[in-house]
Chain A
């Protein structure tokens, strides 16, 4: 009586709707259908809405004349240029502030990170206070503080604060002498490029020789000599083809030299101080992650402290620091979009701000802006994956 029932209850396979493969297929089909439905309804709604508002779709607007000025431009730009060009002006300004910010934040971060671990109690305390203060205050607030509370109330150009008659600080910006390149300066550039190539070759040769024979070479000093010496030689040979142009007050404003506009200065200060605090924490955690035994082992092998730091501690700390560092660089680049709050003409302020308002091409403009940031972050992510794979601890 019991036997046949048992056989009935033990089928060779479960019913098809209980099989994982079937469920997975069904679920994914439903997901794709739902996504298509949502996408389709968004698409048709958008088309309808655009038609109602009389906005034509497409990227034709990019070739129209923009008709608005931009505060700062790294490439030639005026009102008669196209909307397409405003995109590049904004993009370059974003890249400029990001590059400068990354350099400054790295400097601040490394100094402060090491300072926080310093044996000097006072220095460590100051670094801690810096990190804990600026990490916990919103970046936008800091940007606005520097811009509206510090840089805007500076005196007008006529009452500028001057430093040695060459540097001037007023509410229009920070004026510094600018280099003027005369004929023949190209040779200096060529000399520098040659020096870089020479240093690379030299470093490779030195390493190979050390691996083969154990003899060391003073690569650092020779490279420095090459990098400074060759361009200097070219500079002297061509008869010093460069001079400095000093800013001078003409009428209501300064002319000549170079200027850092207050918008850029505020953004740069806030970004580098804010990100510097995060980088300092990354540096600290990286150094702490290298166990003390490593230092002791290096000393036991007879390495001097400087060499220990350079060859044992830093390479291992970098494994922890670099991933955090790149994610902070990425954050800084994305955060530079807050420029729009104080009117620094970055990509978001110029393109997703003024250009969008003038043309009304919201979909195209936002898509292009997002694509830029996505490209930057995806390429950095790819670099990170490559780096992690290369540097991963190979354990037995």
Chain B
């Protein structure tokens, strides 16, 4: 009996696989697409090579005055010379180690939080939230343990940006939780007070809040009470941020099924116990990505403090480019600051997306 032997499969046409196939389906699938591809390539050709040429190939990297910048490209010498100021502001150079130590300590403390198998995350997080700020403040401000005192007016640069956003997020979280619980409360007065507070701060721009903090806060307080400018800005930022935080937390509370509330009640737990043991742990876990997103927004918004006269990273760059010895290098300064902000914000947003995927454990319906 003659057995039927099918022909072996022909390989797919050369135009459908490999590089050519990919090109055909992704870049030249139709006339319109081909046109778009050509247009986009032309735009890239116009912008990218000159950019690389300016930023890398023809750039000057080392030196200590503007005379070192003579090749026509970017003058990174400017950033190099001013680097310490961009990072530490006007902080005395002898005290840089204190800032480094404080941030190094934070990184060291935070590393175990990202290790899956580490068991005492709650305890460690509490230490970071409550104990660490005290230590860091001692290091920054000095005045005890033989550290030389440094006034807050000298704090600046990236350090100030990190301090402001760190304080903003840590202080606004508890206030935001209280406000969110208040907004979902059944007591009419508590609810309306929370709603008014939240909507008020969410309705006005941060810059007016900062103006208010710097102009009106001194008027509000009893005579003679002196308020540090940095502290005033912080109060403004925390009030503003807590309203946004409250809305994020409220989203998490709303996502918890009603059965959880009822089950807690059925177990005989009182309000604070049912919130603290049952609802909030679940709700906060749900909103961690949201919290990271508000943190990103806050991190970018801290640049606004330069308008009321504090020198964060952008403020230091702004003063540096108006220095008469270094006029004409504003683009380099801004690009450097933008790069720093971008690295921070982009990595945080990637982290938040990864968290979202990881924490997605079946709450979505």
Cβ-defined partner of B208 (8 Å) among A27, A31, A118, A373: A373
Q: Spell out A's residues near B (CB within 8 Å).
A: 24, 27-28, 31-32, 35, 41-42, 45-46, 48-50, 52, 118-123, 126, 132-133, 135-142, 144-145, 148-149, 153, 334-335, 337-338, 340-341, 348, 352, 356, 362-363, 366, 369-370, 373-374, 376-378, 381
Known: A140-B306, A337-B205, A370-B204. A126 touches B199 (CB 8 A): no
Majority SS at the chain B contact face: helix
B356 at the interface (CB under 8 A from A): no
Flag if A138 contacts B303 (CB, 8 Å): yes
Q: Which of B37, B193, B218, B296 contacts A31 (CB 8 A)?
A: B193
Known: A31-B190, A337-B205. A141 touches B27 (CB 8 A): no
A242 CB → nearest B CB, Å: 36
A370 with B208: CB separation less than 8 A? yes
Beta-carbon contacts under 8 Å, B21-75 to A: 25-27, 29, 33, 36-37, 40-41, 43-44
Known: A366-B211, A370-B204. A141 touches B331 (CB 8 A): no
Out of B307, B321, B331, which one reaches A341, CB within 8 Å? B307
CA distance A135 to B33 in the complex (A): 27
Interchain CB contact under 8 A, A362 and B203: no
Known pairs A118-B36, A120-B26; list 13 more (Cβ under 8 Å).
Answer: A27-B187, A35-B193, A122-B37, A141-B314, A141-B341, A148-B334, A341-B307, A348-B211, A356-B211, A370-B212, A374-B200, A377-B203, A381-B199
Q: Which of B187, B204, B341 contacts A138 (CB 8 A)?
A: B341
Could you tell me the distance between the alpha carbons of A145 and B339 in the complex, rounded to whole angstroms? 13
Q: Which residue on A lies nearest to B188, using beta carbons?
A: A28
Knowing A133-B342, A144-B334, A378-B199 are in contact, say whether A138-B211 is a contact too (CB < 8 A).
no
Do A138 and B203 contact each other (CB < 8 Å), given the known contacts A45-B220, A341-B307?
Answer: no
Partner of A145, one of B25, B33, B199, B334: B334
Docked Cα-Cα span, A28 to B187, in Å, equals 7
Count of chain B residues near A, Cβ 8 A: 57
A356 to B27, CA, bound (A): 57
A22 to chain B, nearest CB (A): 12
Q: How far is the CB of B345 from chain A (nearest CB, A)?
A: 4
Chain B: minimal CB distance from A20 (Å) = 9
Smallest CB separation, A369 vs chain B (Å): 6
Let me know if A338 and B207 touch, CB within 8 A.
Answer: yes
B289-327, CB under 8 A of A: which get 1 and which 0?
Answer: 000000010001101101100000010001001000000
Residues of B close to A121: CB separation below 8 A: 26-27
* Chain A residues within 8 Å of B1, by CB: none
For B314, the closest partner residue in chain A by CB is A141
A139 to B314, CA, bound (A): 11
Instruction: Report which residue of B212, B219, B222, B341 has the largest number of chain A beta carbons within 10 angstroms of its beta carbon.
Output: B219
The contact of A123 among B36, B203, B220, B337, by CB within 8 Å, is B36
